[in-house]
Amino acid sequence: MKKELTVAIIGTFVGGLLLHSYIKQPESIPKFTSIPLQSNTDTFTSSEVKPLEKMVQLKQKLFLSKPLPQIWEGTFLQDNYGEYPMILYVENVFGDSIIGKINWQSLDNSVVSMSGQFVRDFSDFTELVRWKKLPKFDKNKENSWLFFSTHKLLRGTGVSIKGRYYVDVSVRETMRGISYSINGSSPSGKFNLRRTE
């Protein structure tokens, strides 16, 4: 009885091995390699190349054609307040995002942190309503729109740290945009910046 049981177990094991060798094993999923761009922190996978290609080209043209950090200077016209200088420091660019600071020289030389990204998806109705108040906005015009917001007061007093900025970057070396307060339904101001460094 023991001998028959041992033979049966061995036979089942060998049969399982033979069956396993005839079943086609799944091929391993290929790994995509990262493709370096002009910025050391800026990589994306080759599976994303096609949908991001134009966005990356714009970002390179707009921000990476000159070394970082960069300075963008111009004026901000605030409703019911007037016009004053605005300086945007672009400190780093990665993927389709940017980070930096905004300096309001005439407002106690205040500095706030900012971050933003290029926008391709306009499916959010509330956001689309805000974008439509930007002159010449066309959601079908690719790679022309940059959104950024401010987060933290780094120096100074009396400035909003919850601003939202909607920007047209379709003209080379220029940013033209509008801003909203955090819960605003109408723009609170507009600005025009040019890269100086």
pLDDT digits (tens, 9 = 90+) for 65-96: 677 888 999 999 998 889 999 999 999 888 78
Domain-embedded: residue 76: yes
CATH number at residue 54: 2.40.128.120
H helices of 23-48, in order, are none
Tally of structural domains, the chain: 1
Residue 114 lies in a domain: yes
Domain membership flag for residue 17: no
Tokens (6 digits) for 5 = 């049981």
CA dist list (Å): 118 to 11, 133, 153: 64, 18, 23
Do the domain assignments include residue 23? no
pLDDT in tens, the chain (197 residues): 545 545 455 555 445 544 444 444 433 333 322 222 333 333 333 333 344 455 555 565 666 667 788 899 999 999 888 999 999 999 988 878 899 999 999 999 999 999 999 888 888 998 999 999 998 898 887 768 999 999 999 999 878 788 899 999 888 889 999 999 888 889 999 999 999 87
Residue-range definition of the domain harbouring residue 103: 34-195
Cα separation, 117 vs 59, in Å, equals 10
29 within some domain: no
- HSE, CB side, 13 Å, CA atoms: give it for residue 13: 6
Q: Is residue 189 situated within a structural domain? A: yes
- Please state the pTM of the whole predicted model: 0.69
